[in-house]
Structure 1
Amino acid sequence: MQYSDSLPAHNAESLLVHFRRAELLKERAVEFKSVNLNPSQLCNLEMLLNRAFYPLEGYLGREDYKSVLSDMRLRDGTLWPLPICLAVSEEFAAGLSEGECVAVRDAEGFMLAVLTVSDIWKPDLKAEARAIRDPFPEGADGCHGGLVEPWYLGGRVEGVSYPQRYDFTDFRLTPAEVQRFFVQKGWRKIVAVQAGRPLHKADRAMLEEIAHDQGASLLLSPQLKPSMYFSVDHFSLVRSFQQFVETFPRSMAKLNLTPWFERRMGPRGALLRAIVNKNYGCTHMLVWDGAKAEPRQNAFSEEYEAHIRWLADRQEETGIIPVAEHCMALDQASCRYVRSDGGGRCVNDHNAVVKRLTLGEPVPEWMSFPGVLKELSRTYKPRWKQGITLFFTGLSGAGKSTLAKILFVKLLELNSRPVTLLDGDIVRTNLSSELSFSKEHRNLNVIRIGFVASEIVKNGGVAICAPIAPYAESRRHARGAVEHYGGFVEIHVCTPLSVCEQRDRKGIYAKARAGIIKGLTGVDDPYIEPENPELRIDTSELSPNEAAHEILLYLSEHRFI
């Protein structure tokens, strides 16, 4: 459906339309095709709507896209380093025509905006990657909607509502609101500070020195991931920033959360960050070594110095003065951080803080602040307080279930954490009853187990999993799902096939050898042994109790219990 009526001018502070226009768009939306955005696309839309991406009034059209890739400029000559386009599937794009309206929705289907399509095209992703990553390759930013071969839509956006966010709403000011805050406080120079990890005393000493050198205040924004609500680290990071900002005088520092997420695109990504920070009212921007939102761990590199010069050459157009990091070193006599221009290793306390917290060791006063440590300790708990997954893998009859049951009882005896047993047969009956034994379904079964285990671990429990898990890819997926929240101990029960066949309590090996059943792991379907499990247990050499004791010793030695 096409509409030829002219669009009213957008509000200077946002791309949200007047409420009467919004009601009209909602009525018409029943006739529009719809596209649902992923988390990174939602961030881009919010940045468009709140004018953090000023002067864009929508997604780039094809000619602007080409101009940005070749010259880092829009067609009218305005500096703009990265393409901001809406990625959709080929099937969706094939059903659209230029001039058509598309309802842009979140994952739950709530309409946030209407896009009037001006361009539809298939980008050359290889050419795009070459253009945006040079001269310092940093990797893709995940804006393609998870699509392997996306098509791009360009066109003007009319905002109906900002994406719904329920966390830390007091710290989510739009660019216009932040600028009004600066005017009210009389702040004329502001250094934008964005970091992807909690900040500690060395960072504060550096930031205080930068603020004094520039005669400026600080706007601090943690670098958040698009899929924020799936990570406890998101909340820990923001709360630690709240505590960190409290260590400054109120006239010096302000905390604000932005929809910006880190784009690993080298100088172009940093240049876009400069434009965004200018739109938030900042005059300066702290540039972390490596052009990422991470404080460096070593002395400055030549690449970093070149990067600062590259941004400085464009500060007249961006309106942002790039500020380099200072190397801070601990003065042992005073236990204070001082600037060190002599090279060598610079202080980065965060990894040391996390290590001490997870080992249950005290953190020295000179490393961090009590409030920051209190918040981090909620996430980075000592190993014996973390959730943990014991992931048994091995052939049928290897002894996985027996070991899992013994460990289940032993850990319950300790009474320190809730324990859940996810035995292979139990999971097949209750969680994956509709799955077959194809490779795809076997991997899916293990992925489901990993998801359930991750939820148990996230809440501080112990998950004991005992599937066959014959393929490395699904085991890696399970490990990745769990390790984000706690410990993962892979135990390869490496009992030889011949011993498993002798046991054959279920009679499945006999049936497989007789050709009655097909696809049995170890007979006519492969078992890919883990390359680097935490433990290997051969139950042909150890009794079940002895094997369980070996596992408990490992857990004790590594402070999981």
Structure 2
Amino acid sequence: MIQIKPHGGKLISRTLTEQKQKNIIEQASEYQSVPISADLMKDVENIASGLFSPLEGFNCQEDYESILYNKRLSDGLPWTIPIVLDVENNDIKEGDDILLRNNDHLVAVMHVEERYGFDKRAHAEQVFGTNDDAHPGVAKTYSMKDTLLGGKIDLINESKTPYYKYALKPEETRSLFKEKGWERVVGFQTRNVAHLGHEYLQKSALSVVDGLFINPVIGKKKRGDFRDEVILESYEVLIDNYYPRDRVVLGIFQTEMRYAGPREAIFHAIVRKNYGCTHFIIGRDHAGVGTFYHPFAAQEIFKEFPDIGIEPMFFMSFFHCNKCGGITNDKVCPHNDRIDFSGTKMRQMIESGKRPPADSMRPEVADVILKSGKPFVE
């Protein structure tokens, strides 16, 4: 059985052996420490597990600038989102080994290869396509510290998650797909609970591959997005009641949403390639926010990356056609008697305690949302 190769050809592993972990912990007082956020801690863990292959650490300047202006690493490999560590202007020098900490949690040792400054406005304009701080990614960029450190990391301690049974690493998903005999696997990215439109997308894709990997983002999201536990529980009941269990795997991608639209769509595809997916679903307004991106910009960008190594599966508009009597799309349905899937309308109904109609959402999923009491990030 042939599996898709990781991005760059090799699955990276940057976790220290137990003995080396013990040695560093015992000598921790001899190192300079840098505090990092929970989001950066997850970046470190994703580098260490190979999920961000071929990265072995935070971007050095040559790679950073190449990502910004070419959407590729300096060696030409597709990569669209800078993975960087911003720090206060301190006395850390190139060549130093430092410890990365999240509060009292000792995360990793970093081998500092470079320290450099960066233009926050240029970063925002290139990554997010705008310098408007109404965009959450731009606002975060402007709040970053002024100095970036680049260099390899070695993970010391992995953080705990309440969703541990779904926290599958690339080595584990690849082994699982192989065990199931799946050669063609489609990945599905989401930060929402599932409505019938999402189910239609997933099952349409599943009809032409061996398996479906539903891979919601678990991590920081903007206000009004669904909470992590609600997303996961909604998918649990959906899979239990409406999916063939031997054709679907549910696993989480622990990271923050960056809302970088088309660039994030490429980044998401690369991550799913590292998980072992051969195909990746790109729907309308993938990783978008507000009206910052054209609804199908995330599909158009794939024309720039014929060498990405994973096959995108594009889906346009889909809806419930009253005349056809089910969910369909513009390619096969000639009618105008349709009900569009409006996330905004469904949110409004949920906020008022009303159940979305059965032609929009499965009742089991609606029950999960309504019983949670507070389904949205505040």
Give the TM-score normalised by structure 2.
Answer: 0.84
Which structure has more relative contact order (CA 8 Å, sep 6+)? It is: 2
* Cα distance in 1 between the residues matched to 2:93 and 2:27: 17
2:164 aligned residue = 169
Alpha-carbon separation, structure 2, partners of 1:232 and 1:350: 11
Task: Tell me if structure 1 keeps the 8 A contact 2:234–2:369.
Answer: yes
2:219 to 201, 214, 225: 225
Q: Which of 197, 202, 206 is the matching residue for 1:202?
A: 197
Q: Which amino acid aligns with 2:312?
A: P
SS state of the match for residue 375, structure 1? helix
The residue aligned with 2:45 is: 46
Residue 38 of structure 1 contacts residue 145 of structure 1 at CA under 8 Å; is this kept in 2? no
In 2, Cα distance between equivalents of 1:329 and 1:208: 15
Aligned pair in 2 of structure 1 residues 234, 306: CA closer, same or farther (>3 Å)?
A: closer
Partner Cα distance (2:294, 2:344) in 1: 24
- Tell me: CA distance 1:232–1:289, structure 2 relative to 1, closer, same or farther (3 Å): closer
Q: Counterpart of 1:223 in 2: which secondary structure?
A: strand
Counterparts of 1:136-151 in structure 2, within 5 Å, are: 139=135, 141=137, 147-151=143-147
Deviation string, structure 1 residues 111-141 (Cα, Å, up to 9, x no partner): 1110011111121112222222349999453
What residue is the counterpart of 1:192 in the other structure?
Answer: 187
Distance in 2 between the 1:225 and 1:192 partners? 18
Tell me by how many angstroms 1:218 deviates: 1.5
Equivalent residue number for residue 319 of structure 2: 329
C-alpha contact 1:102 1:114 (8 A) present in aligned 2? yes
d(CA) in 2 for partners of 1:227, 1:193:
18
2:362 corresponds to 1:372: no
CA distance in structure 1 between the partners assigned to 2:276 and 2:69 by the alignment: 28
Q: Can you list the C-alpha shifts for 1:406-430, whole angstroms capped at 9, x where unaligned?
A: xxxxxxxxxxxxxxxxxxxxxxxxx
Q: Distance in 2 between matches of 1:337 and 1:65?
A: 43
For structure 1, the 5+ residue unaligned runs are 1-10, 382-457, 459-482, 486-561
Q: Which structure: greater helix fraction?
A: 1
Whichever residue aligns with residue 260 of structure 1, its letter is: T
Q: Shift of residue 222 of structure 1?
A: 2.0
Q: Is 1:272 aligned to residue 271 of structure 2?
A: no
Report the CA distance between 1:365 and its aligned residue: 3.0
Count of matched residue positions in the alignment of Structure 1 and Structure 2: 361
TM-score by length of 1: 0.58
Q: How does 1:105-124 map to 2 (within 5 A)?
A: 105-107=101-103, 109-124=104-119
Letter in 1 for 2:248: A
How far apart in 1 are the matches of 2:195 and 2:315? 15
AA aligned to 1:31 is: E
Radius of gyration: which is bigger? 1
Whether contact under 8 Å (1:39, 1:227) holds in the other structure is no
Q: Partner of 1:318: helix, strand, or coil?
A: coil
5 Å-filtered alignment, 1:11-410, equals: 14-90=13-89, 94-107=90-103, 109-134=104-129, 139=135, 141=137, 147-165=143-161, 167-212=162-207, 214-226=208-220, 233-246=227-240, 247-292=242-287, 303-305=294-296, 307-315=298-306, 317-332=307-322, 335-341=325-331, 347-348=340-341, 350-380=343-373
Q: Structure 1's 335 and 377: CA in aligned 2 closer, same or farther, altered over 3 A?
A: farther
- Name the SS for the 1:176 alignment partner: helix
- Secondary structure of the corresponding residue to residue 175 of structure 2: helix
- Map of 2:6 onto structure 1: none
CA distances 1:489-513 after superposition (whole Å, capped 9, x unpaired)? xxxxxxxxxxxxxxxxxxxxxxxxx
Q: Please, what is the CA RMSD of the aligned residues?
A: 3.2
Task: Give the letter aligned to residue 184 of structure 1.
Answer: E
> SS state of the match for residue 222, structure 1?
strand
Verify the 8 A CA contact 1:198 1:240 in the aligned structure 2. Answer: yes
SS at match of 2:227: helix
Unaligned 5+ segments in structure 2 are: 1-9
